[in-house]
Chain A
Amino acid sequence: MLVALALIAASPPEITADALRARYREVRLLTADVVQVKEGRFWARPFESHIRLRYTPQRVTWETLSPVPSTVVIEGGSLTVRGPSGEYRELAGMANDPRFAALLRFLRALLALDLASLERDFVLDYGPGELVARPRPGPDVPLFTGVRLRFDRDLELVSLELETASERTRLTFHHVRHEPAPPRPGTPEAR
């Protein structure tokens, strides 16, 4: 009996679009501590960094705490970088690049779990405990070749894997906090 209960408890939750929409609708604020590991063509070895992430619909702050402190702020369509010595620089030229604009749009949609936005460029497959996104076939070369999001039983984001042609990034989320607090799965609000 105990083994059976343990197995049930360990089995990943079934992820559905409706459940995710209910859980992440109208997120006004999301903060999380993230461990990021990058590897690929431009990395000499797997590169681990610790990040504090703060998302609001208006602004995304990607603050790298270690190994090299820096902050990237995405606001509107612009990108501002603050290096370890504290100097700010707005990268207007990059913001005019449609590929970069698409990247910023994708990151916003991803962090807000905006499924409608994601579905414009990706085919979404919902599976046990995870959501897999594959680029839609089209004339443009996709930036990301694959995206995998894993969730816990409370549909809290646990990890995120992103692949491009030359890089694989894995983000593990800790201390995730939402405003407003999401309804618990199974409650009337969640439906």
Chain B
Amino acid sequence: MKKTALLLFVTAALALTLRGTTLEDDPIRSLSHPDPVRAALFDRYQERSFFRDRVFVETGELTPAERERIAEALRAAGYREAGLVERPSADKILELAPLLPAEDVRRLVEEETLARRAREALSIAMLPGADTYLRELQDDPIGLGPAVLERLVGPSAASAAGPLLHGYRSPRPLDYEQVGRAYDLLVGFSPRVHFIGGDFFALENYRAVKHDILVCSALSLVLNLVIFFCFTGRWALLALLFLGSVVSYLVGLLAIRAFYTEVYALVLAYTSTFIGFNNESLVHLAGIEATRRRRSLLGIWSAIGTTFIGFLVLLLGRSTMVRQMALASLGGMIGFLLFLVPYRATLATVRFRGFAWPKLTLRPRWVAATCAASVLGLVIVGVPPVATRIEGFRYQTPTLDAQVAYFSRQLDALSLEDVVAVPAAGEPGDAIAPLAAAGLLDAARHPLAAWRRPAEQEETLRALRERYPMAVARLTALLAESGIRIVPAAAPPARLRVLDAWGYLEELGSLGPVRWADKVGGQRFVMAGLRASAHPPAIAGAIPVSPRHYYDQLLTALSRELGWLFLAGLAVMAIYLVILQRSASRALYAFAPLFMAALAFAAWARATGSAIHIVHIMGFSLVIALALDYTTVAVSNDHGDVELSKILLTGLSTLATFGVLVLARHPVLHELGATVVIGCGVSLVFALVFRLPPGDEDAP
């Protein structure tokens, strides 16, 4: 009783220590490219992205009252209306004035144009608060800025976005309840309203994970209670599993917090599976008969050792989220084992119901043949390709998919959906010319199409210098006739100069949300928006800087890395088991179901055209951590009925724990659950039905 009180106190202290843990909702944010040039190009391109810390709402088909309801809900959630892009200063825009054709400048300074501008100014000046407009008129009297913008982005871009597409700056931190109310309102008005922004994905992920944590934890607990009670008929073991899982959860979280300030919500949801690992430790450490102690401990150390290696290997991965999962698992496992130490006496008194069923004896050569046949089958079927797409890594709904499709079409119209950074040795135009020649990009829609040769820019500057002073004087006089007094500069800014192609792209990039040129690691890059049909990885040297392709490439590379780590982990486990079991055939028996499961997965992937993605590999790691225990414990204990019953109990518990993940909304948890259930299922059946002949079990 005293030790339980002490443990409860320690548990409360742990919970107190972890109070205020910050959750990170977007698993994609954990990813960073190992190549510093690619990482820098992507980060710098995304710095001023349209979508960074913003949401966009297009309300074209709504009534004013409906628009106001949406605006009100967004304001209540902390959103502040902001321009679609940061409004560049008049000074900045004027830097690009040499890009205007000379005839445009001449048109701006014509008497008729100036008179119309004066009339328009007077009309707007009649509105209350219109002095802001007059101040801008004073800064740019002949309207060079709007003319430059119209030339560079086109009249359609300004009016297409129109007044009905609103940009809102996101509040930080997000209040998910408030954001949820605004989001639900938007969804309610869909499809008459279109909306996009990282916050909406974060919200859907948050809701999915919240649902998964609650549903999966509750279901997993109930199912485990039922299974354990059926096998032991005692509540003590259940109480130990429940309290121990709380301790392991907290220690796991503490292990993450030792290295990271923020914990991924998805990792938190994943910790609901700890009960699956814990039940194995608990069951195998409980009810050890004195006569079989040596064999039992061999089985336990085989199981714990391989599980430990499985998680240790995941620590070497570069994905923060995967590392957090590994840390949580290692911490949780150690926490649970430490928790059991004071209850050794209780564990020793536990007895399990033994079940007997017929087993098939497999000669070691048949085990070896099964493994060899599986490898041969894998060679024939072929290892499925490794590819992870961002869509499979993030919770998405049909509503969000529809919004993404809608805005992707808009961005595609602006040639901004798939942007790549193209290395350039000389002029930027020369660098993108091969892409245009290959039909991958529409050169007419690249900003370089608006760049003008130095001689043409010189002509524009001459026109400006000659006509600007007179035009300004005329406009000032026209306004003065109506009583408006502005005092603009009498001459165009002296800093106006001819811009070379690189200088133009840099100036243009500093105005808007798209960086068109960059220099990283001494190499110059020009950005280019590809046609929808073009596939960036196919373009030699081009580096994707749009999120979708960048993250697809990154996740695929991480999957491959994790795959290699997984294979390395398998090799270490094999060596560990051979040393511990002192028998290659026993180690082979332990691995046999994994070979079969790998072949079955490859056949399924080939048949359905699926690829191996990062979640499958994480799932395989868990399968090894969990499923190897069934065969190692079985072979270590001479396939005894009591130990096999224990394996049946732990197997059913694991299948229940991971089986409920199939109900998860989040695709990562769903896929993880499905992979582990299939892998562990095969292994469980193998361990329960097949046995090595008695002569092969005496090695230790």
Chain A residues engaging chain B, CB cutoff 8 angstroms: 36, 38, 40-45, 47, 49, 51, 57-58, 62, 64, 67-68, 70-72, 76-78, 81-85, 87, 89, 91-103, 106-107, 120, 140, 143-144, 160, 162, 164-167, 169, 171
Q: Is there contact, CB below 8 Å, between A92 and B158?
A: yes
Interface contact B483-A77, CB-CB below 8 Å = no
**CB-based contact B126/A76 at 8 Å:** no
Looking at B67, B122, B166, B483, the one whose CB has the most chain A CB atoms below 10 A away is: B483
Number of interface residues of B (CB under 8 A): 44
Please tell me if B82 contacts chain A, counting CB pairs below 8 Å. yes
CA distance A44 to B164 in the complex (A): 37
> Are the C-beta atoms of B126 and A49 separated by less than 8 Å?
yes
User: Assuming the A-B contacts A72-B124, A81-B120, A98-B82, are A92 and B131 also in contact, with contact meaning beta carbons closer than 8 angstroms in the complex?
Assistant: no
Given contacts A42-B486, A98-B83, A164-B131, contact A68 B480 (CB under 8 A): no
**B541 in contact (CB, < 8 A):** no
Which B residues lie within 8 Å of A72 (CB)? 123-124, 126-127
- The interface of chain B, by Cβ under 8 A from chain A, is 64-65, 67, 75, 80-84, 87, 116, 119-120, 122-135, 138, 146, 149, 158-159, 161-164, 166-167, 480, 482-486
Point out the residue from A45, A58, A84, A106 that lies within 8 Å of B119, measured CB to CB. A84
Alpha-carbon distance between A81 and B146 when the two chains are bound, in angstroms: 17
CB nearest neighbor in B for A42: B134
Q: A62-B126, A83-B116 are in contact. List 13 more A-B contacts (CB 8 A).
A: A42-B134, A42-B486, A44-B484, A49-B126, A67-B482, A68-B119, A70-B126, A78-B163, A92-B162, A162-B128, A164-B131, A167-B131, A171-B128
Q: Contacts A42-B484, A43-B485, A77-B164 given: A164-B126 contact, CB under 8 Å?
A: no
Task: Quote the shortest CB–CB distance from B484 to chain A (angstroms).
Answer: 6
Known: A42-B485, A166-B131. Contact between A95 and B125, CB under 8 A?
no
B485→A44 contact, CB < 8 A? yes
Picked from A82, A83, A89, A92, the residue with its CB within 8 Å of the CB of B159 is: A92
> In the complex the two chains form, is B132's CB within 8 Å of A89's CB?
no
Choose from B80, B119, B131 the contact partner of A40 (Cβ within 8 Å): B131
Please give, as numbers and ranges, the residues of chain A lying within 8 Å of B486 by CB-CB distance: 42
What are 8 A-B contacts with C-beta separation under 8 Å? Answer: A42-B484, A42-B485, A51-B126, A70-B119, A83-B119, A91-B124, A98-B167, A166-B131
CB distance from B80 to the nearest CB of A (A): 8
Residue of chain A at shortest CB distance from B137: A42
Chain A positions within 8 Å of B126 at CB level: 36, 49, 51, 62, 64, 70, 72
Whether A98 contacts B81 by the Cβ 8 Å rule is yes
Q: Is the CB of A93 within 8 A of B146?
A: yes
Task: Say whether, besides A43-B484, A98-B83, A64 and B123 are in contact (CB < 8 Å).
Answer: yes
Find out whether the CB atom of B129 lies under 8 angstroms from the CB atom of A162: yes
Q: Which residues of A contact B122 (CB under 8 A)?
A: 68, 70
A169 CA / B124 CA spacing, docked (Å): 14
Q: Which 10 A-B pairs have the closest CB atoms?
A: A77-B163, A70-B123, A95-B163, A167-B131, A83-B119, A42-B134, A92-B159, A44-B485, A47-B483, A81-B123
In Å, the complex CA distance between A51 and B125 comes to 13
Question: Which residues of the other chain, A, contact B159 by a CB distance below 8 angstroms?
Answer: 92
CB pair B123 A76 closer than 8 Å: no
Is there an interface contact between A96 and B83, defined as CB atoms closer than 8 Å? yes
Contacts of B482 in A (CB 8 A): 67-68
Partner of B164, one of A76, A83, A166: A76
Which listed residue, B87, B127, B166, touches A107 by the CB 8 Å rule?
B127
In the bound complex, CA of A91 to CA of B482 (Å): 21
Q: From the candidates B83, B129, B484, name the one contacting A143 in the complex (CB within 8 A).
A: B129
Return chain A residues, CB-CB under 8 Å to B80: 140
A60 nearest CB across to chain B (Å): 10
A166 in contact with B135 (CB, 8 Å): yes
Residues of A within 8 A of B158 (CB): 92-93, 96
Chain B residues closer than 8 Å to A71, beta-carbon distance: 123
With both beta carbons as reference points, the residue of chain B lying nearest to A56 in the complex is identified as B64
Neighbouring B residues of A87 by C-beta, 8 Å: 116
* Other-chain residue from B87, B120, B131 in contact with A42 (beta carbon distance below 8 A): B131
Residues on B with C-beta less than 8 A from A169 are 128-129
The smallest C-beta distance from B394 to any residue of chain A, in angstroms, reads 30
How far apart are the CA atoms of A75 and B628 in the complex, in Å? 70
- Beta-carbon nearest neighbor of B63 in chain A: A58
Chain B's closest residue to A165 (CB) is: B131
Closest Cβ of chain A: how far from B692's Cβ, in Å?
Answer: 73
Known contacts A42-B125, A72-B127, A164-B131: does B162 contact A102 (CB below 8 Å)?
no
Q: Complex formed: what's the CA distance from A47 to B123 in Å?
A: 13
Query: Within the assembled complex, what's the spacing in Å between the Cα atoms of A27 and B161?
Result: 31
Q: Are B120 and A89 in contact (CB under 8 A)?
A: yes
Report Cα–Cα, A147/B132, bound state, in Å. 17
| Shortest beta-carbon distance from A56 to chain B in Å | 10
A144 to B64, CA, bound (A): 24
Task: Specify which chain B residues have a CB less than 8 angstroms from the CB of A57 in the assembled complex.
Answer: 64-65
Q: Would B163 and A101 count as touching, CB distance under 8 A?
A: yes
A103–B125 CA distance with the chains assembled, in angstroms: 13
Q: Which residues of A contact B163 (CB under 8 A)?
A: 76-78, 92, 95-96, 101
